[in-house]
Amino acid sequence: MAQLEEPDESSQPSSSKYEELASGPSNSQRPPRLTRNESSFMENMDPEQKAELTRLASNFPRRQSTLDSTVDGPVERKDTLEGLEMGDPVLDPTNDQFDHYKWVRMVLKILDREGIPRPPSTGVVFQHLNVSGSGSALQYQNNVSSILLAPFRPQEYLPCVQRTPEKHILRDFDGLLRSGELLIVLGRPGSGCSTFLKSLCGELHGLKLRKSSEIQFNGISMEKMHKEFKGEVLYNQEVDKHFPHLTVGQTLEFAAAARAPENRVQGVTRQQYAKYVTQVALTIFGLSHTYNTKGVYQEANESESVSGAPVGAWDNSTRGLDSASALEFVKALRVSANLAGTCHAVAIYQASQAIYDVFDKAIVLYEGREIYFGPCDEAKEYFENMGWLCPPRQTTGDFLTSVTNPQERQAREGMENKVPRTPDDFEKYWKNSPQYARLQQEIEQHMKEFPLGGKHEQQFGEMKRLKQARHVWSKSPYIISIPMQDLE
C-alpha cells in the first residue's frame, strides 16, 4: 500500500462520509501536497487568464465548511476543511499554496451540500480472460507500382483469400480490482501489458475475446458498459493522437466540456467548469506552463483525468516524464482513488520503489501468461519463496519484472534446479499457489455481491442520466449531444 506522508493530529480528516470513500488501509494515509514546477504558473499566464481563473475559483459557493467535528473514541479531531472557502489560497490552483487533496475533498463536499450526486464508482473483475489477435507479420508500403503487383498478392486485397494466423496473446487471466484500488501492471515489452489494458477497457480493435472470457464492472457486463457507459472507462494509450493546431489548454478544455455534467454547482457554466477543471489538472501534474503551447501532448496526456472516469487504464503514460513528475502523477491517481472511489490500472516500465509503494495490487505478465496477481506488499515474498533472489537495493518493481528475463533473474543458492523456468512453468506454479486460491474466493464473493444486472447497474445508469444534458438519449454513452459537441 501507499506509504505517504502522515499529517499531524490536528490536520487529520474527521470520520465524515468523505472518509467512507477512502475506507481500507489507505484511510489514515494522506498524500503530500504536490509540488509545482520551478517556473510559476502565474508567471506564465497573461493577466486576463490569471484574473479569469481566480474569478472562477472565487465563484464557487463561498460558504464556510460546516462539517461538524466528530468524536472517534476518546480523541476529538478537527476537519481539515474547517473554515476554508473556495477562494482560499490552498483551494486556488493559481496559488503556490494549492493543495490537491483538500481541493478534491472540498469539491466533494460542495456536491453533497448542493444535493448533486457524486461521480459513480465501480470496480472490475475478469475471469478466464483469453485474448487473441491476427495480422500479417510483413506489411507492404503501397506506391505507384502497387496496382501492377496487386494480381500477384491477392491475399492483401481480397478478404476471401486472406490467411492471417491467429496469435494467442493473453492466456487465462483472473483478477479483481475493487473501487478505490490501484493496480500496477508489470512485464517486459511484448509480454501483453498493452493488450491487457485494452481488453479491460473494451478497446478491442484488431483483438478478439474468446468465449470463455468474462469481464464485469460490479455487475455490469462488458457489452453493456461498452455500449451505454463507454465514457466511464478511460484508456490512455502510450502514443496519443492530437490535433497539432490546438494548444494543450484547448485540447483538455474540450475534453472537460464534453464530460461536464448537466447538474453542476449553481452559477457555473459548462465553459467555466471546463476551464477551471483543466487548470486544476494541469496544476496538479506540474504542467501549467504548457497551457498555451503546442506539441507537448505526450506530457499532458496524464491530465486527461479531467474526464472523471471511474475506471482508468494508463499504458506507460509516464513515458517522457522525469521520476519526480511520474511520482506526482501516480499520487494524483491515489488521491482520486481514496476520495472518489475510482480504480486505475497503470503499466509502468522501471517503476521506482516510491511509485511501486503507492499501489495496492500488482499483476506480473510473462509472455502472455499471468504469473501473479495480488497485493503489492506480498509480491516480492511470493517470488522469493519460489526460489528467486532479489539483489540488494533492487526495487521491487524491477525484481518482479526481472524474474521474467532469463538473462537477469538469479535463483537462490540450492534452488537452481527447483525454480520454474518457462512461462508455462510460472503459470502452473501460480495456478497451484494458495494466493491463486484466495483470489478465486475473492472473485466468487465479489460476483455474489454484484450480480449481473443487479442494483448497482441500475444506480450506475441513474447517475449517468443525471449527468447527461437535456435531449440526449438515455442509453447514449455521451454526456452531451452531437450538436453541443460541435458548438464546443
In CATH terms, the fold of domain 119-132+165-242+295-463 is: Rossmann fold (3.40.50)
Task: Using DSSP, state whether 241 is helix, strand or coil.
Answer: coil
Spatial CB neighbours of 163, under 8 Å, sequence gap ≥ 6: 155
Supply 74's cell numbers.
476518546
Supply 155's cell numbers.
491475399
Nearest of 206, 134, 143, 210 to residue 171 by alpha carbon: 210
pLDDT reported for residue 463: 78
What is the helix (H) or strand (E) element at residue 263, kind and residue range? Answer: none
pLDDT tens by residue, the chain, 488 residues: 444 444 443 333 333 333 333 333 343 333 333 333 333 334 444 555 555 555 555 555 443 333 333 333 333 334 456 666 666 777 777 777 777 778 777 877 777 777 776 767 899 999 999 999 876 544 556 777 777 777 777 666 665 555 567 789 999 999 999 999 999 999 999 999 999 999 999 988 888 999 889 999 999 999 999 888 888 888 988 766 667 778 888 888 888 888 777 777 777 888 888 888 888 777 777 777 777 777 555 555 655 665 678 899 999 888 777 888 888 889 989 988 988 889 999 999 889 999 999 999 999 999 999 999 999 999 999 999 999 999 999 999 999 999 999 999 999 999 999 999 999 999 999 999 999 999 999 999 999 999 998 888 888 878 777 777 777 777 777 777 766 766 65
Determine the length of the chain: 488
Rounded to two decimals, the pTM is: 0.76
CB 232 within 8 A of CB 311: yes
Rounded Cα distance, 285 and 304, in Å: 11
Cα 207-212-217 angle, rounded to 5 deg: 80
Nearest of 235, 232, 238, 229 to residue 198 by alpha carbon: 235
Supply 217's cell numbers.
464492472
pLDDT reported for residue 304: 62
What is the DSSP annotation of 129-151? Answer: EEEEEE--SS-PPP-TTHHHHGG
pLDDT reported for residue 58: 53
Residue ranges covered by each domain of the chain: 9-118+243-294, 119-132+165-242+295-463
pLDDT reported for residue 150: 74
pLDDT reported for residue 44: 46
Rounded Cα distance, 129 and 204, in Å: 13
